[in-house]
Amino acid sequence: MCLLLTGCTEIFKLLHDAVDSDNPLSGKDTNERIVMCLEETYPEHEFSVVESFDKTADKGVFCDENGIEFSVHTLLYDNIYHFGCEDDYLAVLLKRAELL
């Protein structure tokens, strides 16, 4: 009985954390999480969705405030507490500046 209650407690805690207003990932879809991740990595820029992230293709297209488009791929973490992804933003900027 104790294990059953402990399991229920953990499930309740996970459900609570998923909708907890203190959790910045709470209630966010994948595109919103990607934008949050990009803005944390590149705080001097604002980002928006060009093509929604497709989990099957493992790719989405985003752009910065200047309209520079780049791909986002490979979700490293996508759970209640953590989110991370790989992006080609820096590579695109360096190519545009002819540094790559």
pLDDT tens for each residue of 35-92: 988 998 999 999 999 999 999 999 999 999 999 999 999 887 666 556 678 899 999 9
Q: Is residue 67 packed enough to be buried (19+ CB in 10 Å), middle (13-18) or exposed (0-12)?
A: exposed
Q: Is this model's pTM higher than 0.85 or not? A: no
Q: Lowest-pLDDT range, 4-8, 27-31, 65-69, 84-88?
A: 4-8
Domains identified in the chain, total number = 1
Domain that holds residue 65: 2-96
**Per-residue confidence at 93, pLDDT binned at 50, 70, 90?**
very high
